[in-house]
Amino acid sequence: MFQRLPDAGDLAVAITIDGKPVKARAGDTVAAALFAAGIDHCRTTPVSGTPRAPYCMMGVCFECLVTIDGVGNRQACLVPVQEGMSVETQRGKREIGR
Amino acid sequence: MSAVNEVRDSYDVAVVGAGPAGLTAATACAAAGLATVLFDEQPAPGGQIYRAITQTPVQRASILGNDYWYGARLVRDFQASRAQYVPGATVWSLSREREIGVSTGGAARLTQAKRVIIATGALERPFPIPGWTLPGVMTAGAGQILLKSGAMVPQGRTLLAGCGPLLWLLAWQYLNAGVKIDAILDTTARASRSAAWPHAPAFLFSPYFRKGLRLMLSVRRRTKVIAGVTGLRAEGNSRLQQVAYRTADGAEIRLPADTLLLHQGVVPNVNLAMSVGIEHRWDDDQLCWVPVVDGYGGTSVDGVAIAGDGAGIAGAWAAEERGKLAALAAIRALKPDTRQDILPDEANIRLALAKVERGRLFLDRYYQPAASFRIPRGDTIVCRCEEVTAQQIIDTVALGCTGPNQMKSFLRCGMGPCQGRLCGLTVTELMAQTRGVPPAEIGHYRLRPPVKPITLGELAALPKDEAAIKAVVRG
Ligand code: FES
């Protein structure tokens, strides 16, 4: 559970997370925006279906895999948010066709 | 910003990573008139140590401290140089002929460089305790990245656990930002502390000594530190709810927790270097693989150098100097007639390097994590991607597996998307302990390109010349 410091600046970028509208700060990565929105986990594992959340925030652990604008298995901690971006958390294996 | 189609077919020098080493290397090469490109996986320059320095939303400078803001100068010099900067760029392959496969924004390109300087820095040492995969558990580095790049801090009950300078630095920065830390669970091992003492005199002259001491005292004054922690467990049902810890006197104590930030030092990020076949050795002080490099970062692969923490952990200030040394070698090789006043001043660099590396061995030994935190047992997960436990790996040794490469074909351990980054060291040490041989004999996963997963779509979108087809076939 994370919160922004009071003087952290405007939340000017509108994205959706699993269809719900969320405001992010320009310069946030998708993973940061997920934390700020109080999303507890961003995927469940393909092997046992247990929930996982971003762990390293620097591109090495691959725990932060989400679907961004229809493309699956993107590293949320490396992708900056963009206006209108659609982020979906992932359940288990990537669905066919993504 | 630079899109993938601005990546040229060839360069004199390609630098990978925009931390202190990559920044000074690229700046110096460009100053000498070499056609230089810097590929960086992050969205903005600075690496992890100076992460988001050009755009951090953290308003009060005192929160992050002067040593962070110092990095702005390196970025400014780089931005004023003629080096091309490609952010958001993942380098997924590097060949012995120095052909580089790079992706950005979902499209891939191949490019060729006469010299390559790998400056991919460090990553945090795996911290495989029971429950470390639960949401709510993350690395201290991750917590610091959220602070630097998003001005985000933990809310609720917050615990820090582990050992090493970064843990104390993060605690100090959190306290400066007004975050309440419920406790720091200090796992610094007693044996490591005693092993470090012979090197203490040299460390007294390190620039890190006074700073480190002041910072630790300031943290201790403001938050509870529980020393001598010998066991740790994260517990919860689908998310972290509490942390169980044990100290030498045996009793297990539980603390409720919403966030647990783990750290036990950093190790070189070796994946790209290993994939091109650069020779590595096991370092018995830093307990990790370190590439074999000469005084300029030159490696066993012709024309490929490694600068900064990726060539062995020595910290950000050393990285800055090591970047210049790698650049110096590249300039001498490619443009031997470069005027003396444009070349990095080697004597000065060596002096600065000696100063910041003084007493390093003290830090390495003092913060050497205890075996129980490096080598898990039972059903503690070692490979997060494929959910492989310590016991499963131990069992493959009984089956006759001698190293990670036989083992992984049984368990898929290390074959998930992180490609062994989060389990490689654990697996090596675990198999070494089980077999009773030194880690060097066990070895590491054999790493091959692509060193980062890329989609077939990205490959298919490569410009179709012979090189492209070759890369795909080889991959
Ligand atoms: S959080 Fe580790 S790769 Fe994104």
* Domains of chain A, residue spans: 12-91
Cβ-contact B325, B297 below 8 angstroms: yes
- Per-residue exposure over B208-232, b if at least 16 CB sit within 10 Å of its own CB, e if not: bbeebeebbeebeeebeebeebbbb
Counting residues of chain B whose pLDDT is more than 70, the rounded percentage is 97
Examine the pLDDT at B230 and tell me if it is beyond 60.
yes
Q: Which fold has domain A12-91?
A: Ubiquitin-like (UB roll) (3.10.20)
- Which residues in A lie closer than 8 A to residue B139 (C-beta atoms)? 55-57
Tokens of B472: 């795909």
Q: Give residues with Cβ within 8 angstroms of A59, minimum separation 6.
A: A75, A77, A78, B41, B42, B90
pTM for the model stands at 0.94
Which among B58, B106, B384 has the least Cβ separation from residue A63?
A: B384
- Does residue A37 have its Cβ closer than 6 Å to ligand 1? no
CB atoms inside a 10 Å sphere around CB B474: 11
Distance, in Å, from the CA atom of B380 to the CA atom of B244, rounded to the nearest integer, reads 14
Is the CB of A15 within 6 Å of ligand 1?
no
Indicate the residue of B138, B141, B386 with minimum beta-carbon distance to A47: B386
Is the Cβ of B256 closer than 8 Å to some Cβ of chain A? Answer: no
- Chain A hits for B453, CB-CB cut-off 8 Å, are 73
Q: Which of B127, B174, B385 to mutate against chain A (most A CBs within 10 Å)?
A: B385
Counts for chain A of helices (H) and strands (E), in that order: 1, 8
For B346-361, write each residue's pLDDT tens digit. Answer: 999 999 999 999 989 9
Residues B91-104, mean pLDDT to the nearest whole number: 96
Per-residue pLDDT of chain A (98 residues; tens, 9 = 90+): 899 998 888 899 999 999 999 999 999 999 999 999 999 899 999 888 999 999 999 999 999 999 999 999 999 999 999 999 999 999 876 554 44
CB A61 less than 6 A from any atom of ligand 1:
yes
* pLDDT range class, residue B460, cuts 50, 70, 90: confident
At residue B2 the predicted structure's pLDDT band, cuts being 50, 70 and 90, is very low
Does any ligand 1 atom lie closer than 6 A to the CB of residue A55? yes
Tokens 């004597």, located at residue:
B347
Chain B, nearest residue to A72 by Cα: B455
Instruction: Count the residues in chain B.
Output: 475
How many whole angstroms separate alpha carbon B345 and alpha carbon B343?
Answer: 6
DSSP state of B321: H
Q: For chain A, how many residues are written?
A: 98
pLDDT in tens, B367-399: 999 999 999 999 999 999 999 999 999 999 999
Q: Which H helix or E strand runs over B281?
A: strand B280-283
Measure CA of the first residue to CA of the last residue in chain A; give whole Å. Answer: 29
Please classify residue A25 by burial: count the beta carbons closer than 10 Å to its beta carbon, then call 0-12 exposed, 13-18 middle and 19+ buried. Answer: buried
